[in-house]
Amino acid sequence: MIKSKLCDITGIKYPIIQAGMGPFPTTNLCIASANAGVLGILSSSGIASDANQPEIYGVFCRSGGADPEKDSKETVLRKIFQKVLDGTKESQGIFGVNVMVSAEMREPAELIIGTMLKVREEDPEMKKRFKVLITSAGDPLPWSDVIKKTDLVWMHVMPSVKAALRCKKAGVDVIIASGHEGGFHTSWEPVHSMVLLPAVIDAVADENTLVVGTGGFCDGKTLAAALVMGAAGAQMGTRFLATEESDFPPLWKQAVVDTPDRGTLVARGFVGPARWIKNPRSQEHAKNTLEKSPGVYLGIPDDYSTIDMSLIDYENESINAVYKGDKEKAMMAAGESAQRVTDMPKVHDLVQRIMKETEEILRAVPRLLD
């Protein structure tokens, strides 16, 4: 049985975090993951997609049994949180929420975190099991005052040693080092997990600060490598996207399973560079990105307020096409690890398989030391 400090501080059985993958819902995936003994994470940025991506907003609301027309945004969030609590009652699974805290997401972030804190105060069961907040895509420091007053386990996703030091200053409990292999949002200045994770561990890991790897982790080999490096676990997005219970549309899940060797590319996403499964539509988007937002390939961030909006319109149209089942216009985000994902198992079976493989690998490690 493998345990790490990540298990100790959260109460999960296995040192794996199922990643949040907004603006798309992960409500049913979160239930299945928490029930399987890993940390189930809800995506939340879908709550802010009503104006630009109303179809996604509808899918997001309905994942929790909410009505996109009639329910207030707070009610939508409450329904989603309650659905996960009810769905994990028997297993007493642990879950949390991923909240993007970039400047343009400040208002929804306040609503999501505020609602989370309210429901936890109203219901002791919620307080006991809805206990992890993963912030991402922004500066953790301005959130420190609010979050450090709570008993939440605070995790933050970031892509550099510099940002890890800032997390430490903010008092983040678990720093998630996000390598460039990862699905969808990636950083402007790319560093992959094999370099980033040990560098972040060296810089910040100690008794009170855990480090977790994300980006490219998808099986026992990669989880074992993270643990051997000194990480407390791994967060996996692409791997969990292609599971039976995942909320993603069939076209998207199957595209991950079918992704061949070298099957992803990076092009503009709405918050910066984003990793997409390679197809004619995403290759066209990459060409447009090179022309209209070359900073994506030069490591120079461009300002959301000045970016050519045709790139964002193209992205929205392509994502909506996935939900409509329109293969020609569809563009689907996923990490490099898609090429290593070749099936669509049930979450429970996947977790058991990953843990068995991890354990076999770790048991064999001492044999290298003769």
Ligand X SMILES: Cc1cc2nc3c(=O)[nH]c(=O)nc-3n(C[C@H](O)[C@H](O)[C@H](O)COP(=O)(O)O)c2cc1C
Give me the residues paired with residue 156 across strands. Answer: 135, 175
Alpha helices in 219-326 (DSSP H): 220-229, 238-241, 250-258, 280-292, 295-298, 309-324
For residue 51, how many other CB atoms are within 10 A of its CB? 7
Name the token pair of 246: 């995942």
For residue 46, the minimal CB distance to ligand X (Å) is 9
Between 29 and 31, whose beta carbon lies closer to ligand X? 29
Between 21 and 112, whose beta carbon lies closer to ligand X? 21
294 upstream amide cis, omega within 30 of 0: no
Binding residues (CB under 6 A) for ligand X: these are: 19-22, 24, 43, 45, 98, 100, 136-137, 157, 178, 181-185, 214-217, 235-239, 241, 333-335, 337
State which residue has the least CB distance to ligand X. Answer: 237
Between 14 and 24, whose beta carbon lies closer to ligand X? 24
For residue 246, the minimal CB distance to ligand X (Å) is 10
For residue 89, the minimal CB distance to ligand X (Å) is 26
For residue 116, the minimal CB distance to ligand X (Å) is 15
For residue 29, the minimal CB distance to ligand X (Å) is 11
Between 64 and 364, whose beta carbon lies closer to ligand X? 64
Between 122 and 192, whose beta carbon lies closer to ligand X? 192
For residue 290, the minimal CB distance to ligand X (Å) is 22
Among 198, 195, 179, 197, CA closest to 187: 179
For residue 220, the minimal CB distance to ligand X (Å) is 14
Between 178 and 282, whose beta carbon lies closer to ligand X? 178
Q: How far is CA 288 from CA 175, 283, 296, 308, 322, in A?
A: 34, 9, 11, 10, 20
DSSP β-ladder status, 272-277 and 184-185: antiparallel
3-state SS string for 2-59: CCCHHHHHHCCCCCEEECCCCCCCCHHHHHHHHHCCCEEEEECHHHHCCCCCHHHHHH
Between 242 and 311, whose beta carbon lies closer to ligand X? 242
Residues 6+ apart with CB under 8 A from 101: 109, 135, 136, 137, 138, 139, 140, 142, 143
For residue 157, the minimal CB distance to ligand X (Å) is 5
Residues 6+ apart with CB under 8 A from 223: 15, 16, 217, 233, 234, 354, 358
Between 27 and 235, whose beta carbon lies closer to ligand X? 235
Among 151, 199, 148, 149, CA closest to 170: 148
